[in-house]
Amino acid sequence: MANANGEQRPLDAEIAAYQKQATELEASHFGKWVIFKETTLIATHETFEGAAKDAVQRFGRGPFLIRQVGAPPIVMPAIAAYHAAHEKP
C-alpha cells in the first residue's frame, strides 16, 4: 500500500499479504500473533514476545510484520492523540 504520495512504505508487501488472508486467519487464529515476511506467513504464536523472539532469530532486524490477528485500531492516549492530530509522521 503506497502512501498519499504514491511512495512505497516499509511493510507494504507484508501488510498486503496479511490483508489478503485476514478473513481466513481471523476464523482460525483470532487473537494469535503472526509473522509475515514479504508475502509469506512464517509462523503463528500465542504471545507478542514469542513472535518477536522467533522473528528476530529468523530475520534479525527484518523487515518483517508482527501482528495480532484481528487487532483493533490503536486507541491513542489523550496526550498522544492530541499531538498525533497535529503532527503526522
Partner 1 sequence: MQRMKNRSIECGFSGAEAANTLIRDGPTIWVDIGFDPTWQPDQVAKRPDLGALRIRALIDTGADASYIDYGLAARLNLPIVNRLPARVLSSAGPYDAEVYLAQIFVRQLQFIQYGEFAGVHLSRYGEPYEVQIGRAFLSKFTLFYNGLSGQVTLRMP
Interface with partner 1 (CB under 8 A)? 9-11, 15, 48-49, 52-53, 55-57, 60-67, 71, 73-89
Shortest CB 16 distance to partner 1, Å: 11
Shortest CB 75 distance to partner 1, Å: 5
Q: Which is nearer to partner 1, 24 or 59 (CB)?
A: 59
Q: Which is nearer to partner 1, 3 or 23 (CB)?
A: 3
Sequence-separated (6 or more) residues with CB below 8 Å from residue 12: 1, 2
Grid cell 482460525 is found at: 28
Distance CA 29, CA 51 (A): 14
Under a CB-based contact definition with an 8 Å cutoff, are residues 31 and 68 in contact? yes
Shortest CB 8 distance to partner 1, Å: 12
Q: Which is nearer to partner 1, 7 or 9 (CB)?
A: 9
- Diameter of the chain by CA atoms? 39
